[in-house]
Amino acid sequence: MCLLRPTPSYSGTACPSSISLTPQIPDEPFFEALRYWITPDAWSWLKGEGVDDLWAEMKLLVFLIACIAIVAGEHFALKAWVL
């Protein structure tokens, strides 16, 4: 996934000098959850996004717990049946 998207100029030319690369964060749920995780909770509540912040952080926590549980399950399964 590329975080830099070309922004074409409106002069109609297709030369590379007319394209500027601007960094943009994709509007995907994972990146939204990371943005809310970095943002202080008090700031989110003051902006009126407190419930969205809480929900996004909860989804991120469930994702991280699931990743850790899968790796731990694989470790114990391999330890019990293979080694």
Q: Which pLDDT score, from 0 to 100, does residue 24 have?
A: 55
Q: Which long-range contacts (CB under 8 A, 24 or more apart) does 9-18 make?
A: none
Model confidence over 14-71: pLDDT tens digits?
555 545 454 455 667 788 888 888 888 888 888 888 898 888 889 889 999 999 999 9
What pLDDT is recorded for position 13? 52
Map out the domains of the chain as residue ranges. Answer: 26-81
Query: What pTM, to 2 d.p., does this model score?
Result: 0.58
Find all residues with CB under 8 Å of 14, minimum gap 6, and list them: none
pLDDT of residue 41: 84
Listed in sequence order, the DSSP H helices in 20-49 are: 29-38, 41-47
